[in-house]
């Protein structure tokens, strides 16, 4: 929601004339009702497109639930965008997401890579943009609070046991001794010491 309202504000303030649409993919998790989110945005005069899928039912059949769910939601977002003739999709990934993805790739796939601030996909047909890329979660939460935006809990029944949550816990433990851990890992992406890399 912070991403949405910052984009709306920027669009108006700098007369960008962007067409901005808000979309929510309801994965069908038990106990989640997107109506509260829809109503909250409606109070701020923003229409929310909600699409409901069978992602939750399909997750029961797969091992890597987070990867499958994330991919299914992104695919659905692209279908919605294409139907509206929109080819730039803004996602709210922030600094911690970048760090977590880097560590997930290194620890679980043996690859060094992470998400990008601007990323062409489907052979350049769409572009994912991540305007909050350089912001940390604390700043985003403070911004949400100052804008009077409501917080909604993660309805995913699997997130507590996910690899990403394990990385979050590890980072939290490391931050107890060094509060700059996350920031240092993020900065290391832009500060590669090539003579010490094979």
In the chain the domains, ranked by start, together with CATH numbers, are 2-190 (3.40.50.620)
Distance of CA 143 to the CA centre of its chain: 16
CB 187 within 8 A of CB 105: no
- What average pLDDT is seen over the chain? 94
Angle formed by the axes of helices 2-13 and 137-146, nearest 10°: 70
pLDDT, one tens digit per residue, over 137-170 is 999 999 999 999 888 888 899 988 899 999 999 9
User: What pLDDT digit, counting tens, does each position of 38-53 carry?
Assistant: 998 898 888 999 998 8
Tell me how crowded residue 62 is: count the other CB atoms within 10 A of its CB: 12
| pTM greater than 0.85 | yes
Residues 22 and 77: their CA atoms lie apart, in Å, by 10
- Enumerate residue ranges in the chain where pLDDT < 50: none
Residues 150 and 196: their CA atoms lie apart, in Å, by 46
């Amino acid at each position: 929601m912070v991403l949405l309202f910052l984009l709306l504000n920027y669009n108006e303030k700098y007369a960008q004339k962007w067409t901005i649409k808000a979309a929510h993919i309801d994965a069908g998790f038990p106990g989640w009702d997107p109506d509260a989110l829809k109503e909250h945005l409606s109070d701020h005069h923003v229409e929310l497109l909600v699409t409901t899928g069978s992602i939750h039912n399909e997750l029961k059949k797969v091992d890597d639930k987070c990867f499958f769910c994330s991919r299914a939601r992104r695919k659905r977002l692209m279908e919605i965008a294409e139907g509206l003739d929109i080819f730039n999709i803004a996602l709210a990934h922030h600094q911690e997401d970048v760090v977590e993805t880097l560590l997930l790739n290194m620890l679980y796939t043996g690859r060094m890579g992470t998400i990008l601030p601007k990323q062409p996909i489907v052979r350049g047909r769409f572009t994912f943009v991540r305007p909050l890329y350089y912001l940390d979660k604390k700043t985003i939460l403070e911004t949400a609070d100052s804008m009077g935006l409501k917080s909604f809990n993660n309805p995913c029944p699997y997130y507590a046991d996910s690899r990403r949550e394990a990385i979050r816990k590890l980072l939290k433990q490391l931050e107890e001794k060094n509060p700059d851990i996350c920031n240092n890992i993020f900065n290391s992406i832009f500060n590669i010491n090539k003579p010490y890399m094979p």
